[in-house]
Structure 1
């Protein structure tokens, strides 16, 4: 049985990293069987009435992460965008601060938010090298995930993304993540290109892929991003559209019974 957050990362036996957006959703997910929780920059931004992509500050992300850590008794990882700065030393400081509040790990992207421009290859690698050195200097174990987001944003192709994750591995990353490749074949190629655990995102077309299928190609971790939060927003949208448009309240009959909800929150 896995005993640490790192131990959960097993090739061909992926765990679900459940992205929560507040203490209540974190408690519910933990109560329903999540082995680990993660923040989601997008889902967190939605709770503040903001769009995704570079709208949060590091202080906001750290405070939000602390709320989730306090809410559950399982590991919590941080979706920390680009490390909240361009310079390698900023990424290192972000890791240090994340470790101080008790996060089990964080992910760092290679995109200069709030733009979608990818960092130059050499700078992107130096950022991960600095973050990894800071992670190793922490008194506790810490899982650093290096993300290659330029593929998703159309800034480079799959070959470049794979070159990047290989360089991130050499620089000291513990896990790698290329969000939203074009196909399962491409995701399988990503898994084969590295000895590190690979994170896959169960969103978009990949929401139709089962855990068994992810496992078969070597995925070690499946995250949800903001997808589960957007499912709740779909429920609000559908119910409110019916209420305010037609005076139809029938969507409210699908509400989770109060006693079940309170049991999970308790």
Structure 2
């Protein structure tokens, strides 16, 4: 059985070439399925965890509910787990302490709240608080600093934020909303931190992203969304036509 810090070091070492590929999980069952498929680490999606609890992504999930799910995931798998903790649920230090106690060795921490991009100094303080809580717990936590600049149209400040977040103690820069080669190349060259991008249908392949220098690749809630879409389609077919073709393995 690996110790928690051994898992943390393993997670840190996985960022590079080839890149760390993370098909995001939303509960213990999906985490076990993803691990069985060959994943070397498990990342959660806060949107997926919220949907599984029957609540909306935007503010519907609270810290206590998230920690319950994270604890179950960490118990279900043997690989490192990195958790999407949104913007820290209003108490970054307390949240980090709780998720570390649950077995987590990495976090995503985002720089927007209420769908509004925060000032970079505000997020830098969150990162400092997260690092201090991890140090106090004795865990070499991997902090993935998410910036929503490309999601909210403030693209020019991305690299400035990356430098500030790195100085605050972040380990990785996560920039959702970026999939074009030119922008990725610019971010890889200019960021002091390894780059994480979020992909989906139409995005470059893992191999292509590796050639561009991306260190970490995730899909956010895409797999969760696809799973629930399948459940809806299969249920609708049974309730209307009375057939089961949606359930035929593809």
TM-score, scaled relative to structure 1: 0.85
Residue 263 of structure 1: aligned partner:
none
Q: Does 1:118 align with 2:117?
A: yes
SS at match of 1:176: strand
Deviations 1:190-242 (A, max 9, x none): 22222322111122542xx2111110111111112111111112212322333
Give, in whole Å, the separation in 1 of the partners of 2:177 and 2:42: 21
> Structure 2: where are the runs of 5+ without partners?
1-6
Deviations 1:21-54 (A, max 9, x none): 2211111111110101122111111111222122
Q: Which consecutive aligned stretches of 4+ in structure 1 deviate over 4 angstroms post-superposition?
A: none
Residue 78 of structure 1: aligned partner:
83
- Residue 182 of structure 1 deviates from its aligned partner by 6.0
Residue 101 of structure 1: aligned partner:
102
Deviations 1:88-135 (A, max 9, x none): xx21222222222221111111111xx211112222222222222333
1:107–1:227 Cα change, 3 Å: same
RMSD of the TM alignment (CA)?
1.9
Give, in whole Å, the separation in 2 of the partners of 1:125 and 1:104: 20
Give, in whole Å, the separation in 2 of the partners of 1:181 and 1:54: 24
Q: Does 1:202 align with 2:208?
A: no
Give, in whole Å, the separation in 2 of the partners of 1:204 and 1:119: 29
Deviations 1:124-169 (A, max 9, x none): 22222222233333312210111102421x2x42211221122101
Count of matched residue pairs: 243
